[in-house]
Amino acid sequence: MTILAKPVAIARAASRALDKTATTKGASAATPRVKPLEDERTVRPAAPVARRAPGGRAVIVDNLIKTYDGEAGKVRVLDGISFDIGPGEKIAVLGKNGAGKSTLVKLIGGVEQPTSGVVHRGLSMSWPLSFGGGGIANTMSGLDNTRFIARIYNRPIDETIDFVADFAELGKYLRYPVQTYSSGMRMRLAFALSMAIDFECYLIDEVLGVGDQRFQKKCRDALFGKIDNSAMILVSHHRQTILEYCTKALVLKRGRSRLFDDVEFALDLYSTL
Amino acid sequence: MTVATETNDRRNATARLARYGDGLRDFLSRLATQWRVIRALMIRDMMARYGRENIGFLWLIGEPVLLIGGIIILWSVMKGSVTHGVSVIAFALTGYSMLTIWRHIVSRGTNALKLSTGLLFHQNVRVLDTILAQILMESISTFLSFLFCYLLLYLFGFVELVHDPLLMVLAWVLMTLFSGGFALCLGGLVEMSKPIERMIQPVMYFMLPLTGAFYMVDWMPQRVRDFLLLFPMVHAQEMFRAGFMGPRLTYYYDGWYLFVCGIIAFWLGLAFIKHAERNLHVA
pLDDT digits (tens, 9 = 90+) for B150-192: 998 899 888 888 888 999 999 999 999 999 999 999 988 888 8
Q: Provide, as residue numbers in chain B, all residues whose Cβ is less than 8 Å from the Cβ of A127.
A: 121-123
Task: Compare CB distances from B123 to A55, A110, A115 and report the shortest one's residue.
Answer: A110
d(CA A130, CA A205): 5
The distance of B46 to chain A (nearest Cα, Å) reads 10
Q: Comparing C-alpha atoms, which of B204, B209, B174 is closest to residue B189?
A: B204
Do A250 and A91 form a contact (C-beta atoms < 8 A)?
yes
Distance from CA of B5 to the nearest CA of A (A): 9
Neighboring chain B residues of A139 at a CB cutoff of 8 Å? 48-49, 51
The DSSP element (H or E) to which A158 belongs, if any, is helix A157-168
Please write the tens of the pLDDT for every residue from B42-90. 988 888 888 777 777 788 888 888 888 888 888 888 877 777 777 888 8
What are the domain boundaries of chain A?
A: 7-126+231-272
* Nearest chain A CA: its distance from B264 CA (Å): 25
Rg of chain A taking only CA atoms, in angstroms:
20
- For residue A195, what are the contacts with CB-CB under 8 A and spacing of at least 6? A163, A167, A222, A223, A227
Distance CA B135, CA B100 (A): 12
The pTM (predicted TM-score) of the whole model is: 0.77
User: How many whole angstroms separate alpha carbon A232 and alpha carbon A194?
Assistant: 13
* Whether CATH 1.10.3470 fits A7-126+231-272: no
Domain spans in chain B, listed from the N-terminal domain onward: 56-278
| B33–A contact, CB cutoff 8 A | yes
Q: What share of chain A is helix, strand, coil (3-state, %, to 5)?
A: 40, 20, 40
Mention every residue, 6+ apart, whose C-beta is less than 8 A from residue B239: B167, B168, B170, B171, B174, B251, B253, B255, B258
Does the distance separating the beta carbons of A57 and B11 come in below 8 Å? Answer: yes
- Cα A69 to Cα B279: distance, rounded to the nearest angstrom: 8
pLDDT at B41 over 70: yes
State the smallest CA–CA distance between residue B24 and chain A in angstroms: 21
Q: Which of residues 107-146 of B touch A (CB under 8 A)?
A: 118-125
Question: In the 8-state DSSP scheme, what is residue A128?
Answer: P
Which positions ≥6 away from B8 have C-beta within 8 Å?
A53, A57, A87
How far apart (Å, rounded) are the C-alpha atoms in residues A249 and A270?
10
Angle at A14 between CA A12 and CA A17, to 5 degrees: 110
Chain B residues in contact with A204 by the CB 8 A cut-off are none
- Hey, are the CB atoms on B282 and A229 less than 8 Å from each other? no
**For testing contact with chain A, the best of B121, B191, B193, B279 (most A CBs within 10 A):** B121
Mean pLDDT value of segment A107-123: 86
H-only helix segments in B80-155: 88-115, 127-155
* Contact criterion met (CB below 8 Å) for A111 and A103: no
Residues of B with CB below 8 A from A136's CB? 118
User: Could you give the C-alpha distances from B180 to B96, B139, B183, in angstroms and in order?
Assistant: 18, 9, 5
Q: Among A148, A176, A233, which would you mutate to test the B interface (most chain B Cβ atoms within 10 Å of its Cβ)?
A: A148
Q: What is the mean pLDDT of residues B227-250?
A: 89
**What strands lie across the sheet with A201-205, from one edge to the other?**
A201-205, A231-235, A90-94, A248-253, A256-260
Give the pLDDT band (50/70/90) at residue A37: low
Give how far A220 is from chain B: nearest CA, Å: 22
Residue type, A245: Y
Please tell me the distance from the alpha carbon of residue B177 to that of residue B128, in angstroms, as a whole number: 14
Q: Do B280 and A112 touch (CB under 8 A)?
A: yes
A132 contact residues in B (CB cutoff 8 A): 283
- Specify the pLDDT at position A46: 47
- Chain A hits for B16, CB-CB cut-off 8 Å, are 55
Q: Is residue A95 pLDDT above 80, yes or no? A: yes
Q: What is the mean pLDDT of chain A?
A: 77
